[in-house]
Amino acid sequence: MRTVTSIAMDHGFTHLGRFSAFYRQMYGELPSETLRKATGRLISSPPHDKGCVSRTSSAESMKTS
């Protein structure tokens, strides 16, 4: 399956945020929404770095300390 990134790069976009904004302006939806409709699958974002601590988890740990 092709990714939004590979399609954007194939069409000369190197800044994915600009590609997404341009696409949404032209087609009324995000490229990931179009891809999801076309494939019938939910496109998930890459997993977060396990070394990062979210604000929620650090705030919760402060409550228990």
Write down the pTM of the prediction.
0.55
Cα separations in angstroms, 20 against 8, 12, 45: 9, 13, 15
Which pLDDT score, from 0 to 100, does residue 56 have?
Answer: 43
Which pLDDT score, from 0 to 100, does residue 52 have?
Answer: 43
Domain ranges of the chain: 1-43
Could you report the per-residue pLDDT of 11-56, keeping only the tens digit for each?
A: 899 999 999 999 999 999 999 899 888 887 655 555 444 444 444 4
- Under 8 Å between Cβ of 16 and 8: yes
The count of other CB atoms within 10 Å of the CB of residue 8 is 19
